[in-house]
């Protein structure tokens, strides 16, 4: 029997080697066809008496990344269509659909033939759940192997047996830790936890898997044996009495109840461990069906799984423009940002010429990369040889003529129009006619900078976020004259360095910073109103933000906030800035020299390590604080999320952001906007534009005109529209 996605070869010992190798795919993924073929392979191996056991592995460098985009999309489409056709029976049909993979894996593990999973690379999500259903697991000891159940990160949870098999193989605490964080395990860690039985050298992996079968591997899982007890003794033990209250408290502290998928994991493990495996799987199936019906799951999967992958693969790249061959890249400005850009470029295997005013400054920039390399080697993320190879790709220089052969130059000099003008002129005097110039400015509009260029159609913005080596987002900013070639080159570069791009049109603050400063300015308003600073920070985190606004302002620097406010006044007039905000920041910076983390004092105090930072007590003297009971926490949470989402809606109305996927992904990757919402526009769509419009009006009446909803929102509310409906990115692509 032949298959499209698998090959089956049986050796002289009666061991069938099932190799998963999907054609035209760089990585194996689960699709409806893959599941159908795997089901047939189980039947085939059971029916063939000559087959004594089965090894399943991958024909690619990775094992599998889990479910395919189309499969995930299909589940939501299926449910919505069924709900429209049969509201009463839709949930039952979704439940049955959710049980297909669970049923297949259960069929495999009770087939009567022993199966061994030979894990040769990344094994994520459903692929690891398949491996868990196998009676034996052998993993390659290669550093490239990563094992994880990361579904919680995209709003769902391991729903094909993961929540039942993992805690039956390892202790409940480690099982919960693995699944509620979605963190990756090394092969060594997976073996220590009992999730993998053996490790083998990559070239001996299949031999080790076959040896496990030849040594008499039982075709019965431990939980199907009479008298099975879960590691640690299960639920009704003294140890469990300590674990479960603590687990619930930690989950509440880390998620504030905002992630239905994370809560469902705890429920599945707790309830499932009290039941036989088949009933436990049924419990998991019911919770998975329930979570799939939540707004959070739909929004998170759309933004953090589907949209992020689409944008990363060049969804906004102009069609018909040849791919840019980046044989070398120039970076001008060897300060912190420029040095970091040079590092991530070299880490992608691209040679970099790092230019600064003199060779000492340029060499100092390379020293930054040397520090990052040393840190990576120390943490085992990089070998000495890899580190040396990376550093060899960075060439410091003070001679602009060294840029003559580059196809892309990234400017990362001081945020001053004259300084940037000088750099643009020096670079354009030496680079080739087809080279692209990109500015990493974070505050200066690209269109204005491009006026200094002799070829503004080849001038574009690429805004990196700090620290560059950790932040996954870049904003690609189109000036009014930026051409398709410049956009394509910028997106090719961003893809090469493995960042996720969003494309935005030119404006002050672009997209991310406009939203970030709305968040920070709302905290200023609250301080001025007398809301206790600790309550401000905690309410923001309860709303789902990763850090409070005052802490964030300390990180970006309070004197930078002052600079931005002053620039707004200079360019747009006094009315563009709240005078109370200006007075607050001037007081902190000019009178008190409180500039943020960089000088050890801002809204927080930063004592010497190991002591932790704490809110500056003097805030109480600047603004007399009212009792906490005077303020409603839910309202504070709403104010933070609404002011940011409203600013995102303004950028859409102004034509700055044209694709709702980019608004959502940019808000989450750029500054951590409450991920459970799916991003700024998904937050609005999730509650309904009419509901959001009414909430804005309510907040505007109580807290100021900056909450007043826009004309676009009013029109959309009246028409019952959503952002993903009115600005459908797929319709735009189809039209193009």
- What is the separation of C-alpha 645 from the centre of its chain, rounded to a whole number of angstroms? 19
**What is d(CA 421, CA 445) in angstroms, rounded to the nearest whole number?**
13
Residue in 197, 463, 521, 581 annotated catalytic: 463
Question: Which is nearest to 148 in space by CA: 171, 125, 116?
Answer: 125
Q: What is the DSSP letter of 151?
A: G
Question: Which is nearest to 464 in space by CA: 443, 479, 442, 495?
Answer: 442
Q: Which residues are within 8 A (CB) of 121 and not within 5 positions of it... i.e. 6 or more apart?
A: 58, 60, 61, 62, 63, 140, 142, 144, 145
Q: What is the DSSP string of 153-211?
A: GGT---TTTHHHHHHHHS-HHHHHHHHHH---B-HHHHHHTTS-SEEE-GGGHHHHHHH
Half-sphere exposure of 65 (CA within 13 A, CB side): 13
**What is d(CA 320, CA 555) in angstroms, rounded to the nearest whole number?**
42
Q: Are strands 123-124 and 115-119 parallel, antiparallel or unpaired?
A: unpaired
CB contact at 8 A, 484 and 436: no
Element (H, E) at 662: helix 660-671
Q: What is the DSSP letter of 325?
A: -
463 is catalytic: yes
CB contact at 8 A, 164 and 277: yes
The C-alpha torsion from 554 through 557 and 559 to 564, rounded to 10°, is: -110
Active site residues: 463
């Amino acid at each position: 029997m032949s298959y499209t996605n698998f090959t089956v070869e049986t050796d002289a010992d009666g061991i069938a080697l099932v190799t998963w190798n999907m054609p035209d795919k760089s990585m194996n993924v689960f699709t409806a066809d893959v599941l159908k073929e795997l089901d047939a392979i189980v039947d085939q191996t059971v029916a063939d008496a000559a087959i004594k056991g089965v090894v399943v592995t991958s024909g690619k460098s990775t094992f599998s990344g889990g479910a395919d985009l189309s499969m995930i999309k299909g589940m939501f489409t299926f449910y919505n269509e069924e709900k429209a056709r049969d509201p009463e029976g839709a949930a039952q049909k979704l439940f049955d659909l959710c049980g297909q993979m669970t049923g297949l894996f259960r069929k495999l593990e009770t087939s009567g033939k022993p199966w061994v999973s030979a894990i040769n690379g990344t094994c994520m999500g459903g692929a690891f759940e398949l491996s868990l259903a196998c009676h034996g697991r052998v993993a390659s000891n290669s550093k490239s192997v990563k094992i994880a159940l990361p579904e919680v990160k995209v709003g769902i949870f391991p729903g094909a047996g993961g929540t039942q098999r993992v805690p039956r193989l390892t202790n409940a605490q480690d099982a919960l830790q693995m699944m509620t964080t979605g963190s990756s395990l090394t092969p060594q860690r997976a073996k220590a936890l009992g999730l993998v039985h053996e490790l083998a050298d990559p070239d001996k992996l299949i031999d080790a898997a076959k040896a496990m079968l030849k040594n008499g591997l039982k075709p019965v899982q431990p939980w199907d044996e009479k008298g099975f007890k879960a590691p640690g003794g299960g639920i009704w033990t003294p140890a469990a009495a300590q674990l479960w209250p603590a687990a619930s408290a930690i989950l509440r502290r880390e998620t504030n109840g905002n992630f239905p998928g994370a809560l469902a994991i705890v429920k599945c493990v707790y309830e499932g461990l009290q039941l036989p495996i088949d009933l436990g799987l049924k419990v998991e199936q019911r919770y998975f069906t329930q979570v799939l019906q939540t707004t959070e799951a739909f929004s998170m999967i759309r933004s953090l799984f589907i949209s992020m992958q689409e944008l990363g693969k060049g969804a906004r790249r102009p069609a018909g423009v040849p791919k840019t061959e980046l044989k070398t890249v120039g970076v001008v400005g060897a300060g912190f940002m420029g040095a970091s850009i040079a590092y991530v470029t070299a880490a992608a295997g691209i040679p970099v010429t790092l230019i600064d005013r003199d060779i000492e400054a340029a060499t100092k920039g390379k020293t930054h990369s040397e520090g990052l390399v040393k840190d990576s080697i120390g943490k085992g993320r990089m070998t000495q040889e890899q580190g040396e190879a990376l550093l060899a790709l960075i060439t410091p220089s003070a001679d602009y003529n060294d840029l003559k052969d580059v196809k892309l130059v990234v400017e990362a000099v001081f945020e001053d129009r004259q300084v940037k003008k000088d750099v643009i002129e020096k670079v354009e005097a030496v680079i080739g006619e087809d080279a692209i110039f990109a500015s990493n400015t974070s505050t200066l509009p690209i269109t204005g900078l491009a006026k200094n260029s002799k070829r503004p159609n080849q001038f574009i913005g690429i805004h990196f976020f700090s620290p560059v080596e950790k932040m996954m987002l870049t904003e690609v900013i189109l000036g009014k004259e930026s051409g398709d070639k410049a956009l394509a080159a910028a997106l090719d570069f961003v893809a090469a360095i493995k960042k996720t791009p969003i494309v935005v049109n030119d404006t002050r603050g672009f997209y991310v910073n406009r939203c970030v400063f709305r968040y920070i300015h709302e905290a200023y308003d609250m301080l001025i109103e007398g809301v206790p600073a600790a309550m401000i920070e905690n309410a923001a985190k309860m709303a789902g933000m990763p850090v409070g606004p005052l802490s964030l302002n300390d990180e970006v620097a309070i004197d930078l906030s002052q600079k931005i406010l002053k620039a707004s006044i200079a360019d747009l007039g006094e009315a563009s800035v709240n005078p109370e905000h200006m007075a607050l920041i001037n007081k902190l910076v000019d009178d008190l020299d409180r500039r943020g983390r960089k000088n050890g004092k801002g809204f927080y105090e930063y004592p010497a390590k190991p002591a932790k930072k704490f809110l500056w007590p003097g805030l109480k003297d600047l603004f007399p604080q009212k009792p906490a009971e005077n303020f409603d926490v839910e309202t504070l949470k709403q104010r933070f999320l609404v002011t940011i989402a409203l600013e995102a809606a303004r950028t859409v109305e102004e034509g700055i952001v044209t694709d709702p996927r980019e608004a959502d992904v940019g808000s989450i990757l750029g500054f951590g906007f409450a991920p459970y919402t799916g991003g700024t526009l998904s937050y609005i769509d999730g509650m309904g534009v009419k509901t959001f419009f009414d909430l804005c009006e309510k907040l505007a009446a109580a807290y100021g005109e900056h909450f007043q909803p826009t004309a676009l929102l009013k029109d959309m509310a009246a028409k019952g529209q959503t952002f993903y409906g009115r600005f459908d990115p797929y319709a735009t692509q189809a039209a193009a």
